[in-house]
Chain A
Amino acid sequence: MTLDQLPIGTPARIASVDWSALVAEEAQRLRALGLDEGARVTLAYRGVFAGRDPLAVEIGRMTVAIRRVHAMAMTVEPVAQAVA
């Protein structure tokens, strides 16, 4: 499953990223924001218009907006909800 297919609100871990599918500068930017292999993410919002683009991803206590093309390059695996 890729990040764009993740149901909203489901915690997940980024298992792998196909960096070759992304423009180099954008890949660097995503990594700088922490969107990298191993990161724990939750999909928070999707846009309303055609393609439901862009996406808002929660990573740690930060919310980052990305496009669907970026999310499609990221394979995620849902993780069990942490027990509070």
Chain B
Amino acid sequence: MSRMPTVAALVGNPNAGKSALFNALTGARQKIANYPGVTVERKAGRLLLPSGEPVELVDLPGSYGLDSTSPDEEVTRKVIMGEQAGQAKPDVIVLVLDSSNLEQHLVFAQEVLELGRPTVVALNMVDLAERDGLVLDPAALQTALGVPVIPTVAVRRRGLTELAAAIAEARDRSESAQPVSRPHVTLPERRMLAHQMASGAILSETAKHRIHARMDKVLLHPWAGPPILFAFLFIVFQAVFSWATPFADAIDGGVSALGDLAKATIPPSLLRDLLTDGVIAGVGSVLVFLPQIIILFFFILTMEATGYMARAAFLMDRMMAGVGLSGRSFIPLLSSFACAIPGIMATRSITDPKDRLTTILIAPMMTCSARLPVYAVIIAAFIPNNRVGPGIGLQGLVLFCLYVAGIVGAMLVALVLRRSVTKGAASGFIMELPKYQLPTVKDLALGLWQRAWIFLRRAGTMIFTVTIALWILLNFPRAEPGQDQINASVAGTLANGLSVVLEPIGFNRDMSLAIIPAMAAREVAVSSLATTYAVSASDDEDQAAVALGDQLKSRWTLPMALAFLAWFVFAPQCLSTIAVARRETNGWKWPSFMLAYLFALAYAAAGITYWTAIAAGLG
């Protein structure tokens, strides 16, 4: 008998532990893509039934009801109804309920059950409910709901086999008989029934969420909360810079060794130069930043997994309200510190359209990890590694200031935008604060691996291609004897043209040259500088193998370096961000606006920085 592979969908309220359950059921065999036409992430994986038969499991966005109020919830509704393009109608619905929040989650559960689809309920996180002093009776709930109820603990892999068996059974049963649906009732009735069912399923109940409340007492404390958050964020940024150093040095050493090996084994030729100056120097200089990116994502993923991210949003809401945004914008903006692309995509949880648009427009000003390579190289070359206080280095402090500059700039722009182009009804802030949870090593590792892989793939494909293209543009046409190779090249000619515009803000030819390919991705600026100086160094054998930092120090002044940093705080140098902004705003209007105002800001900031530094005598 042949049939289409069975499709099962995970459905539930936000914070029901769906993602952890999804990871536990499918392991690392996951495919992440987008639903066609919308930018909602589609997460699918393979689950094995007890018979060994594979089932496609889809993790749907968390939802409070089938009356969608956000694009995320809209996808959930459409998939359940079988109306979503690119997604087969699920054969079985797996309703995920948080055991310690039954009364609330049973409201949406009833709405789904009214559809009369084959359904299995996963009574998730029963261990946390027990920790909170709740003892549940799954059998009573099963009787009340009329569908199988399986207690699960995703993180400890409890109940997973039983759940898989129940999915198989529900699928087989639906082929022989039509499942009965619950009668349609109104929301207040549903809520009353949820209350009855929850009380009926709770065997005993002692003190209410104690650990949770005790942690909030400190972390949401009106006076203690904000300093704790800022201290934590400061530690994150210091860690990104200092913890990564040994790993980055090791990668750097490996890349240099590889370059030397290639130089020693391959006879001198243009092809060897392409390999050493182009590929190894270019891609290697970006690869060095993998440790920093992993550390930053480690903190962001941990904040999300523990539930602290929502508290951060709560604490930040008042400040965000000051510029016309809400605490909800804090999460996309914080994600943008890793990368503006997931940040802009995370704005989909913001329900107010004007609020969301403003957040998209300012997200590129958050210092993303692609800027770190640029900042790190320039700071290491020009800022002395002095201590300015206990545990605070001058280099870390400068980095912190660059982050602050981006944040302040973004807030000022938001303030202006909300009073002009994105004016609208005052945005609100309504958000569930999930329970605190210990993150599981496996889920964290999986998330980190997915982020690291995206970065490596970029380094391996786009950055690789751009670096080679730049190398070719730098080496052709070949210079006449006695002529500078870069000035003779195509890239040099382009950069000399651009220099006319950028000279007033202190940029030399090499800097203008670096920002052209950096339109593809900011970190390419570093590999371009590395390639440029490797090309010009090979003209002059004495200078060969001089580190990029020393090259910069001998060719740039401090005001030039600072202007370059200021430029990168604002410049929208990332094609992927522009592409994702176009997709999220459905057109070129807002991305064009974003490009224009960010370049204008970058030009002004670099110019002001350069001339202030000159006036202060730093040159």
Contacts and interface: CB of A to CB of B under 8 A. Distances in A.
Question: Is this pair of chains taken from one and the same complex?
Answer: yes
A55 B314 CA distance: 8
Interface in A1-52: 23, 25-26, 28-34, 36, 38, 44-51
B315 interface: yes
B16 to A, nearest CB: 11
B431 interface: yes
A22 to B, nearest CB: 8
B191 A34 contact: yes
Given A34-B107, A34-B191, A65 B313 contact: yes
B101 A33 contact: no
A46 B222 contact: yes
Contacts of B209: 61
- Please report whether the interface of chain A is mostly helix, strand, loop or mixed according to DSSP: mixed
B428 A60 contact: no
Interface in B305-328: 310, 313-315, 317-319, 321, 326-327
Given A36-B188, A54-B318, A61-B209, A29 B222 contact: no
B25 to A, nearest CB: 25
Contacts of B327: 54, 65
Contacts of B65: 32
A63 B313 CA distance: 14
Contact of B426 (A60, A65, A69): A69
B430 interface: yes
Contact of B216 (A44, A50, A59, A70): A44
A17 to B, nearest CB: 12
Contacts of A46: 222
A70 B426 CA distance: 12
Contacts of A30: 430
A79 to B, nearest CB: 15
Interface residues of B, number: 44
Contacts of A32: 64-65, 67, 69, 107-108
Contacts of B212: 63
A77 interface: no
B103 A60 contact: yes
Contacts of B419: none
Give the most central of B188, B310, B431: most A CB within 10 Å: B431
Contacts of B191: 34, 36
Contacts of A44: 213, 216, 220
Chain A interface residue count: which class? 20 to 34
B431 A65 contact: yes
Give the most central of B103, B326, B428: most A CB within 10 Å: B428
B317 A29 contact: no
A32 B188 CA distance: 11
Contact of B67 (A23, A28, A70): A28
Contacts of B226: 48
A64 B100 contact: no
A53 B317 CA distance: 8
A84 to B, nearest CB: 8
B194 to A, nearest CB: 9
Contact of B319 (A49, A65, A70): A49
Interface in B343-367: 351-352
Given A48-B222, A54-B317, A64 B431 contact: yes
Given A49-B318, A51-B318, A63 B432 contact: yes
B429 A54 contact: yes
B351 A25 contact: yes
A80 interface: no
Contact of A26 (B223, B428, B432): B428
A61 B49 CA distance: 34
Contact of A50 (B108, B223, B318, B432): B318
Contact of B208 (A26, A47, A50, A61): A61
B172 to A, nearest CB: 34
B430 A23 contact: no
Contacts of A38: 188
A36 B65 CA distance: 15
B432 A62 contact: yes
9 contacts: A25-B351, A34-B104, A38-B188, A46-B222, A48-B223, A53-B321, A54-B317, A63-B212, A64-B431
Interface of A: 23, 25-26, 28-34, 36, 38, 44-51, 53-54, 56, 59-67, 69-70
Given A28-B69, A56-B314, A65-B431, 16 more contacts: A25-B69, A30-B430, A32-B108, A36-B191, A38-B188, A45-B220, A48-B223, A50-B318, A51-B318, A56-B433, A62-B432, A65-B310, A65-B432, A66-B429, A66-B430, A70-B428
Which 7 pairs between the two chains have the least Cβ-Cβ distance? A48-B222, A32-B64, A49-B318, A63-B433, A45-B220, A54-B317, A65-B431
